[in-house]
Amino acid sequence: MTRFLEYTTRHYDKLIEALLEHLQMVGVTLVISIVLALVISLCIMDRKRISSWVMRVCSMIYAIPSLALFALLIPLTGLGSSTAVVVLVIYNQYILVRSFTEGLQLVDAGIREAAVGMGMTKWQVFIKVRFPLALDAMVAGIHIAVISTIGIATIGATIGAGGLGSILFDGMRTQNGVKIVWGTVLSVVLVLAVNGLLKLAEKKIKKGIYHMET
Amino acid sequence: MSIAVEFKDVTKKFAGAGANAVDHVSFQVEKGELVTILGTSGCGKTTLMKMINRLYDPTSGEIDVFGEDIARTDPVLLRRKIGYVIQQIGLFPHMTVAKNIATVPDILKWDKEKTDQRIDELLKLVNLDPEEYKSRYPAQLSGGQQQRVGLARALAADPQIMLLDEPFGAIDAINRSNLQDELLAIHRRSGKTFLFVTHDVTEALKLGTKVMIMDRGRIQQFDTPREVLDHPANDYVASLMKSVVEGLEFLK
């Protein structure tokens, strides 16, 4: 216990730095992932065969162990956090493209036909009808992606991406239990905090768009 | 009388289908008519209707709306001039009744005052109290009320043609009868051209100034309800009319 307190008081700046690095990695990843997934989803949502192929490819990539994918990308993008972000973005595509396209495809056909039949342009149908009605499913996908990104990002430390993983792996290499505990605790706290925020956002959306009390 | 809708030898064949969904159909609908299009499911009546607002394009033939070949119009602009009501109603669940009705006025960028005024006017027309229903969501309405809003929405921008695809199909008998009466009143007052798809023989005869009976993609008869009842053009029409009469005879 004294070792724990001693480490914490002496190195709290390192802990905060790692946490911030982690947050930054997750944040950058999310922004890129969501934009990319939106573009992909828009391209494939009305093409059933192509979308099922895209999903197959994404799920295959998702099945590659993260450590292996990090290692595979080193020759291409080198060491550091940018490689980690690339890997995390790739993983997220499975979760995000899936929930985005499914959400957009599941919007009631009658409602879509009414929108088209009344003279909305393709873009108006998307913005006014399809997107708001799919938003629920899309945010649920983003939620899963955030949580999974926070977890997988710790592996990024193996290629020098920093973040909470660096504390964890340091601890493992030097048999330092305190570091392992701190790395784990901070990851979990981060997940819980983000989880709470997203739940709040989901509730707001449900109320604002669908007028459902949850 | 001017011609509102004219089909000139129109055929629609869907990719992969064996027979033509609509098979060399020609007819004219005069302005101000309420034409009911009657037939069993799969007879091509909905396909025929959806070609008028270009949700489908014909495989061959020409369709004119007010004398203009619609193949040469922008489908989006064409649709804004044609009211459209479908069976599943298709109200937008995330928008209030007012917002739903304002769909086309909003697309056409009417100013707010004009739109608001129009919403009140339309809700009164379909017998819903504007103050009570304007800010409700579709989920807070009964089926009959939803369909009333659907009707109001289609009428919003004062279209010269209304397409109604089995709008009362999912509504109980009493409400359906009320809605039918209201539709008749709205039609009479508006002087617009209505095309109304249904598989209900009684509904077709009650509403139509003319009835178009379809089977296997072809028009079997296109005449006034009286003529169709008294002088069915062929065995198919005769058997269809017989089914209604027998239904009533049974009770006597």
pLDDT tens string B86-134 = 876 789 989 999 999 999 999 989 999 999 999 999 999 888 998 999 9
Tokens describing residue B132: 């009570």
Q: Which residues of chain A have pLDDT under 70?
A: 1, 209-214
Partner-chain contact B90 A211, CB within 8 Å: no
DSSP class of A162 = -
Judge whether residue B35 has pLDDT over 50. Answer: yes
CB contact under 8 A, B88 and A108: yes
Residue B194 has pLDDT above 90, yes or no: yes
Of all residues in chain A, the one with the smallest CA distance to B150 is: A114
Distance from the Cα of B136 to chain A's closest Cα (Å) equals 10
Q: Enter the ipTM.
A: 0.85
Distance CA B98, CA A37 (A): 34
Picking from A110, A118, A211, the nearest residue to B88 by CB comes out as A110
- Is the pLDDT assigned to residue B252 strictly greater than 70? no
pLDDT at A89: 93
pLDDT for the residue A116: 92
Q: Is B154 on the interface with A (CB under 8 A)?
A: yes
Q: Which residues in chain B have their CB less than 8 angstroms from residue A114's CB?
A: 84, 86, 89-92
> 0.95 exceeded by the pTM?
no
Bridge partners (DSSP) listed for residue B215: B218
Does the beta carbon of B80 lie under 8 angstroms from any beta carbon of chain A?
Answer: yes
B14 touches chain A (CB under 8 A): no
Which chain B residues contact residue A119 at CB under 8 A? 76-82, 104, 107
Minimum distance, in Å, between the CA of residue B50 and any CA atom of chain A: 9
Any chain A CB within 8 A of the CB of B229? Answer: no
List of chain A residues whose C-beta atoms are within 8 Å of the C-beta of residue B90? 108, 110-111, 113-115, 117
Three-state SS string across chain B, please? CCEEEEEEEEEECCCCCCCCCEEEEEEEEECCCEEEEECCCCCCHHHHHHHHCCCCCCCEEEEEECCEEHHHCCHHHHHHCEEEEECCCCCCCCCCHHHHHCHHHHHCCCCHHHHHHHHHHHHHHCCCCHHHHCCCCHHHCCHHHHHHHHHHHHHCCCCCEEEEECCCCCCCHHHHHHHHHHHHHHHHHHCCEEEEEECCHHHHHHHCCEEEEEECCEEEEEECHHHHHHCCCCHHHHHHHHHHHHHHHCCC
* pLDDT above 70 (res B18): yes
What's the whole-number mean pLDDT along residues B31-36? 93
Indicate yes or no: CB of B92 within 8 angstroms of CB of A115.
yes
Q: Which of B53, B107, B137 sits opposite A120 (nearest CB)?
A: B107
pLDDT of B191 > 70? The answer is yes
Question: A116 contacts in B (CB within 8 Å)?
Answer: 55, 79
Residue in B80, B84, B137 nearest the CB of A114 = B84
| Percent of chain A clearing pLDDT 90 (strictly above) | 33
Chain B residues touching A113 at Cβ < 8 A: 55, 86, 90
What does the pLDDT read at residue A149? 92
CB contact under 8 A, B90 and A132: no
From B150's Cα to the closest Cα of chain A, the distance in A is 10
